[in-house]
Amino acid sequence: MSLPDSLEGWLELLERRHAERPIQLGLERVQAVAASMGATSGALLITVGGTNGKGSVCAMLESILVAAGYRTGLYTSPHLLRYNERVRIDGREVESGVLAEAFGEVERARAEVPLTYFEHGTLAAWRIFCRESLDVVILEVGLGGRLDAVNVFEPDCAIVTSIALDHQEYLGDTREQIGHEKAAIFRAARPAICGDPQPPASLVEYARGIGAELWVSGRDFGFGGDRQQWGYWRYERPQSGGALLRRGGLAYPSLRGANQLLNAATVMTALELVRERLPVSMQAVREGLMLVALPGRFQVLPGRPVVVLDVAHNPQAAGVLAENLSNMGFHQETWAVFGMLSDKDVEAVAARMGGRIDHWLLAGLEGPRGLSAEALAERVRGALPDADLRCHASPAEAFAFARQSAGDNDRIVAFGSFMTVAGVLDALNAVG
């Protein structure tokens, strides 16, 4: 079979395979192909897992390290509009031709070993990073941690941002089970950072069992601030205390939301703990936090009515979004463009958001996991029996209705799946 010669061709091929083999947890296949490729990197490696906050932490790390002058590789998932968003060097998306070439190298190296869409993409990103003279590589875990393809690579520092219920069919249906899965990205005698102030016991026990250096938010590091600036603190050693170290006069992250200082303190801890290899000035920290950008995470677009984009798709993220909306100030009515995948906890997400939404515009999503607007309506109605619901075939159609219906003093909130936010962004781009 002839191999594709374009990124689009590769994505079509991998999506067809993905339909047959959507998710296969396990490291043996990825390890075998990685060994066959023989790709190695001398860069410092930071792995970032967690239920929510991974994207923000990765974006802050990248922005600060680029501001500090380091050559930086970043791999994240999923993407909103272009696959290229997943693989960045020095803050810029890798070109399609480079990605296509790397996909081909993985295909030849895998021989008869089956790989999923995500696994193929992870190995391709790693191959690209190994070709560059990078100082640091940041890898975002796709799902869980223990059996995720990213866990094939040995991190110098590992971060778990938060632990909440999501992907229960793969990770377990309690925080204790999920915490154990996510903690497996930690390594012995290396920094292991938990940004969740209330980590499940399973995460703490896993870190202790392997001899990782565990730092927990609120216990070993934290933050405080006023309206103008914020400050970071940490103890010299985790749990046992030691000297209290402080960093003050920090700029607030340009990412909006009440949870971003929690993410920023987690990022600061990682940078502090790898400073012997990657020293970063406080000026680079301030510059990086001021310039960081991440589409679709409580992204507020200018204009009237206000448009808010957020990929919140589980109850914890929906709770954060509801809090952020309550802090925005007065808006007469809120119109929600809402689309979800069938394997998500729609009822709990809707319940968390119910007090913030006046009108629900339910958007159907395509694909085998997508919910039609009518099926979504049944599940939202189960949580909010009196909600004002309207069904639309797509996020673009729902957003068009919202733009026609909302007044200048209203706001439109597009949230749920990445596919929902991507559909709205496509619609916005189409009209300029």
Rounded to an integer, the average pLDDT of 260-270 is 96
Between CA 155 and CA 151 the distance in angstroms is 8
What's the CA gap between 409 and 191, in Å, rounded?
48
Residue 310 parent element (H or E):
strand 306-310
Residue 25: pLDDT band with limits 50, 70, 90: confident
DSSP string, 213-224: EEEEBTTTEEEE
Q: How large a percentage of the chain has pLDDT more than 90?
A: 82
- Which pLDDT does position 256 carry in this prediction? 87
Q: Per-residue pLDDT for 166 more than 80?
A: no
Q: Which structure tokens are listed for 78?
A: 């999923």
Q: Report the C-alpha gap between 298 and 307 in whole angstroms.
A: 10
Across 173-192, average pLDDT: 94
Q: Tokens 């490696």 sit at which residue? A: 45
Q: Are 387 and 361 in contact (CB under 8 A)?
A: no
| Average pLDDT of the residues in 42-67 | 96
- Tens of pLDDT, residue by residue over 317-374, are 999 999 999 999 889 999 999 999 998 999 999 999 998 999 999 999 998 889 999 9
Give the model confidence (pLDDT) of 372-386 as tens digits: 999 999 999 999 999
Residue 38, judged by CB atoms within 10 A of its CB (0-12, 13-18, 19+), counts as exposed
Residue with the bigger pLDDT between 88 and 21: it is: 88
By CB atoms closer than 10 A (0-12, 13-18, 19+), residue 82 is exposed
**Euclidean distance between CA atoms 294 and 59, whole angstroms:** 7
Which of 22-31, 173-182, 389-398 is least confident? 22-31
The predicted-structure confidence for 197-232, as pLDDT tens digits, reads as follows: 999 999 999 999 999 999 999 999 999 987 788 999
**Whose structure tokens read 């000035």?**
281
Mean pLDDT of 253-259: 87
Q: What is the pLDDT of residue 326?
A: 92
Beta bridge partners of 334: 411
- pLDDT of 22 reads 61
Picking from 346, 296, 356, the residue whose alpha carbon sits closest to that of residue 322 is: 356
* Residue with more model confidence, 15 or 44: 44
- Token pair 């016991």 is found at 201
Place of tokens 């940490």: 234
**Distance, CA of 423 to CA of 396 (rounded, Å):** 6
Q: Where are the alpha helices (DSSP H) in 198-337?
A: 201-210, 260-273, 282-291, 315-326
228-233, long-range: CB within 8 Å, 24+ apart, which pairs? 230/261, 230/264, 232/264, 232/265, 232/268
3-class DSSP state for residue 75? strand
What is the rounded average pLDDT for all residues in the chain?
93
Homologous superfamily of 7-291: Mur-like, catalytic domain (3.40.1190.10)
Residue 20 has what pLDDT?
A: 66
Region 33-42: what's the mean pLDDT?
89
The residue extents of the domains of the chain are: 7-291, 299-430
pLDDT at position 422, please? 95
Bridge partners, 222 (sequence order): 233
Question: Dihedral of the CA atoms 338, 333, 302, 228 (nearest 10)?
Answer: -110
Q: What is the pLDDT of residues 93-121, one digit of tens each?
A: 999 999 999 999 999 999 889 999 999 99
Contacts of 276 (CB under 8 A, 6+ apart): none
Tokens, residue 59 = 């974006």
Mean of the pLDDT values across residues 154-180? 86
| Nearest-angstrom CA–CA distance, 369 and 372 | 10
* Helix or strand (DSSP H, E) at 172: none
Whether the CB-CB separation of 191 and 270 falls below 8 Å is answered with: yes
Report, at the CATH architecture level, how domain 299-430 is classified.
Alpha-Beta Complex (3.90)
At residue 170, does pLDDT exceed 70? Answer: no
Q: Are 14 and 110 in contact (CB under 8 A)?
A: no
pLDDT greater than 80 at residue 26? no
Is the CA virtual torsion 91, 92, 98, 102 positive or negative?
positive
Mean pLDDT of 130-150: 93
pLDDT band at 165 (very low <50, low <70, confident <90, very high): confident
Reduced DSSP (H G I as helix, E B as strand, rest coil) percent helix, strand, coil of the chain, to 5? 40, 20, 40
Cα(176)–Cα(428) distance, rounded to whole angstroms? 41
Q: What is the pLDDT of residue 17?
A: 83
Q: Is the predicted pLDDT of residue 144 greater than 90, yes or no?
A: no
Say yes or no: do domains 7-291 and 299-430 share a fold. Answer: no
Shortest CA distance to 358 belongs to which of 399, 406, 401?
406
CA distance 373 to 406: 20
Only one residue has tokens 């971003």, namely 260
Q: What's the confidence (pLDDT) of residue 82?
A: 95
Beta bridge partners of 361: 337, 390
155 has a pLDDT exceeding 80: yes
Average pLDDT of the segment spanning 148-168: 90
